[in-house]
């Protein structure tokens, strides 16, 4: 099949959606399909070319319309010219609050090409104006987008419930989670001398991902004074691109609290460096107010790092507290500090979580399993078209 993926961003841009589209595309190419990715040139810290082959994936990058004023609309006018020329068997768009997805849906409908939509995260409002804009879009263009889709893919039961509330058809909506390469993210040897050699003398609390508002990293930083009081050499390591505004806000908070020396900001890292940070982590923390299904969380689980995550991150029905995760109820600074201290003092509980979490990933969350389900949907839609 010739499969066109339409996505707001694509690697080397960093993020869960970006990695999801890359990994399903890579697996589809391995299975003999032709995959074309249409995306924006919005990539932080790295220069990109407009056209390239990336491990067999044909990638085209387009400028955004008015990126300084209208970036989150993800409107790429050049899609109107490019998409009709591709003779696709399937068009698969990613993100529902995204005008490029809406364009893809319209062109799919006009040309009679099956259309698949993976909305990914349905983020909560950020202030009254942001909430107003999201509501207007959801109940106008967003609702039309959901109706045009031949199949809608939710990442979790929680994600599915949100989509149904926005008007998605239950008959069209299926659950296919994210995945991880379990061989790439298998447990690294945890050698204490290597950890100390790199200046990590105490517990390492790790976060991997974008430094964005909905990740609620300020709550973990507010918990640091209590943690450092008990574990003086503890470090909170943030791995991911340094988005200036949010990253600087967190740094100022750390300075006010007097814990700036307990924070390590790495910025963008290579794959080998990422494996190193997973290998030295004592706890992986995800204090987000909302997630689709976090890829970095799955990577940590595959790497046998005990994970601590808020229930608001959509993990209910996926993870079990005390078995394969430590689940926070509200994720307040007091709850985070108490929970980290509790978990650091209990090596047997950490080991239980580590072993069970990797087992869960191997059983349910590999890219091979994800793409097998996705491939079946594509084949069914093409056969029925």
Residue 198 and residue 82 share a domain: no
Residue 63 and residue 23 share a domain: yes
Mean of pLDDT values over 137-143: 84
C-alpha distances out from residue 315 to 132, 175, 238, 306, 348, Å: 27, 14, 22, 15, 23
- pLDDT value of position 59: 97
- pLDDT value of position 313: 78
pLDDT tens digits for range 256-298? 999 999 999 888 888 888 988 999 999 999 998 878 788 999 9
Tokens linked to 44: 């932080």
Tell me the residue range of the domain where 60 lies. Answer: 2-179+366-384
Q: Which candidate, 104, 33, 147, places its Cα nearest to that of 376?
A: 33
> Is-contact 220 284, C-beta < 8 A?
no
Residue 323 and residue 213 share a domain: yes
The number of domains in the chain is 2
pLDDT tens digits for range 342-355? 999 999 999 999 99
pLDDT tens digits for range 301-342? 999 999 999 987 778 888 999 999 999 998 899 999 999 999
Residues 6+ apart with CB under 8 A from 271: 184
> Is-contact 156 292, C-beta < 8 A?
yes
Residue 104 and residue 131 share a domain: yes
Asked whether residue 324 is domain-assigned, the answer is yes
Tokens linked to 238: 């943030």
Classify burial at 342, counting beta carbons within 10 Å of its beta carbon; exposed 0-12, middle 13-18, buried 19 or more: exposed
Residues 6+ apart with CB under 8 A from 21: 5, 7, 10, 37, 94
Residues written for the chain: 385
Asked whether residue 92 is domain-assigned, the answer is yes
β-partners of residue 59 are: 37, 52
Residue 88 and residue 13 share a domain: yes
pLDDT tens digits for range 157-172? 888 988 998 899 999 9
Counting other chains too, the contacts that 247-250 makes at CB distance below 8 Å and 24 or more residues apart are: 247/211, 249/218, 250/211, 250/217, 250/218, 250/221
What is the arrangement of strands in the sheet containing 283-286, beginning at the earlier edge strand? 263-267, 235-239, 204-208, 283-286, 307-310, 326-328
Residue 205 and residue 152 share a domain: no
Cα separation, 302 vs 209, in Å, equals 16
Asked whether residue 186 is domain-assigned, the answer is no
Evaluate if residue 126 carries a pLDDT over 70: no
pLDDT tens digits for range 201-229? 899 999 998 887 778 899 999 999 999 99
Asked whether residue 187 is domain-assigned, the answer is no
- Check which CATH number belongs to the domain holding 311 and give it: 3.40.50.2000
The answer to whether the Cα torsion of 95, 374, 179, 181 is positive or negative is negative
- pLDDT value of position 205: 96
Residue 376 and residue 347 share a domain: no
* Side-chain half-sphere CA neighbours of 380 within 13 A: 10
Asked whether residue 201 is domain-assigned, the answer is yes
- pLDDT value of position 33: 98
C-alpha distances out from residue 252 to 23, 211, 244, 260, Å: 36, 14, 12, 8
- pLDDT value of position 71: 75
Residues 6+ apart with CB under 8 A from 347: none
Residue 106 CA, chain-centre distance (Å), reads: 26
Q: By percentage, how much of the chain surpasses pLDDT 70?
A: 94
Asked whether residue 184 is domain-assigned, the answer is no
Whether the ω angle into residue 145 lies within 30 degrees of 0, i.e. cis, is no
Cα separation, 235 vs 202, in Å, equals 7
Residue 146 and residue 280 share a domain: no
Asked whether residue 228 is domain-assigned, the answer is yes
Asked whether residue 37 is domain-assigned, the answer is yes
- pLDDT value of position 191: 62
pTM of the model: 0.89
Residue 57 and residue 84 share a domain: yes
C-alpha distances out from residue 349 to 324, 342, 355, Å: 10, 10, 10
- pLDDT value of position 133: 75
Residue 247 and residue 143 share a domain: no
Residue 53 and residue 104 share a domain: yes
Run of H or E including 174: strand 173-175
- pLDDT value of position 76: 93
- pLDDT value of position 145: 92
Residue 143 and residue 37 share a domain: yes
């Amino acid at each position: 099949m010739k499969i066109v993926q339409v996505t707001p961003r694509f690697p080397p841009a960093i993020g869960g959606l970006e990695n999801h589209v890359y990994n399903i595309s890579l697996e589809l190419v391995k299975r003999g399909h032709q995959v074309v990715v249409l995306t924006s040139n919005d990539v932080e810290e790295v220069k990109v070319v407009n056209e390239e082959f990336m491990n067999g994936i044909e990638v085209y990058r387009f400028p955004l319309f008015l990126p300084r004023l209208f970036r989150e609309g993800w409107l790429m006018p050049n899609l109107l010219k490019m998409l009709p020329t591709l003779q696709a068997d399937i068009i698969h768009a990613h993100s529902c609050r995204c005008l490029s997805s809406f364009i893809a849906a319209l062109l799919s409908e006009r040309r009679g090409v099956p259309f698949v939509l993976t909305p990914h995260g349905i983020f909560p409002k950020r202030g009254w104006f942001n909430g107003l804009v999201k509501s207007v879009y959801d109940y106008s263009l967003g609702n039309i987008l959901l109706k045009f889709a031949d199949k809608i893919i939710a990442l979790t039961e929680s994600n599915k419930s949100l989509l149904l509330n926005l008007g998605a058809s239950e008959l069209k909506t299926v659950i296919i989670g994210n995945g991880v390469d379990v061989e790439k993210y298998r447990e690294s040897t945890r050698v204490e001398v290597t950890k100390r050699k790199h200046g990590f003398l105490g517990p390492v609390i790790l976060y991997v991902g974008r430094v964005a508002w909905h990740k609620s990293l300020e709550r973990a930083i507010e918990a640091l004074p209590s943690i450092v009081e008990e574990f003086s050499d503890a470090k909170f390591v943030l791995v991911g691109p340094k988005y200036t505004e949010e990253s600087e806000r967190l740094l100022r908070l750390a300075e006010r609290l007097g814990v700036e020396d307990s924070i390590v900001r790495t910025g963008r890292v290579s794959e080998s460096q990422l494996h190193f940070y997973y290998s030295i982590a004592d706890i992986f923390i995800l204090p987000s107010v909302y997630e689709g299904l976090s890829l970095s969380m799955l990577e940590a689980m595959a790497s046998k790092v005990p994970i601590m995550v808020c229930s608001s991150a959509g993990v209910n029905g996926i993870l079990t507290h005390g078995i394969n995760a430590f689940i926070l109820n509200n994720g307040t600074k007091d709850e985070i500090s108490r929970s980290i201290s509790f978990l650091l003092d209990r090596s047997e509980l950490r080991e239980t979580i580590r072993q069970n979490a990797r087992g869960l990933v191997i059983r349910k969350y590999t890219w091979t399993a994800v793409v097998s389900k996705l491939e079946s949907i594509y084949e069914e839609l093409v056969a029925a078209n």
